[in-house]
Amino acid sequence: MEDLRVLFFFYIVEGFLMTMTGLRLFGYKTNVKILAAISITYGASIWIIRGVYQYYHIPLGSHSLILTVILSFLIKMIGKVNWGTALGAALVSFSLVMLGGGMSIVIIQYFQLDVTNVLSNPWLHVLMGYTEIVFLALMLIINKVFGFTLTRSQEIHK
């Protein structure tokens, strides 16, 4: 299994931002208890699934599909929203994380880092993980400042 520091300082934070950003972009404002419950459960899911993949030497990639389904399910069940919103929030969040993942790759190549070394060093893993969630944070700021949502995209408020 991966280091617990990655779980606490990255996966749970990522889950929190993914859930909050996804729901806010669909016009939902959820309380912190619900966000925390989804984040902790989702973060633990990431940690466990990546641990299983590492233990059985399964190449990463398909875990994203599994995690999308898990996040959709958690948003639906804990967040108590309809399936369309839950799936939409999960897919939008994952799309933003994938865009951030492209930034991580550019940084890794620019600094000539080895991906294995990045993933084996907990703090470097967390730091590179934060570059993946930059677009989640950006969309959350745009939502907060301008009131932008995907469901009311034509009504941007100042």
Q: What is the pLDDT of residues 145-158, one digit of tens each?
A: 999 999 875 555 55
**Tens-digit pLDDT profile for residues 56-81:** 999 878 899 999 999 999 999 999 99
Alpha carbons 35 and 15: distance in angstroms, whole number: 9
Q: What tokens does 106 get? A: 């550019």
Alpha carbons 91 and 46: distance in angstroms, whole number: 16
Alpha carbons 17 and 143: distance in angstroms, whole number: 13
Reported pTM: 0.92
Alpha carbons 140 and 131: distance in angstroms, whole number: 15
All residue ranges of the chain with pLDDT < 50 are: none
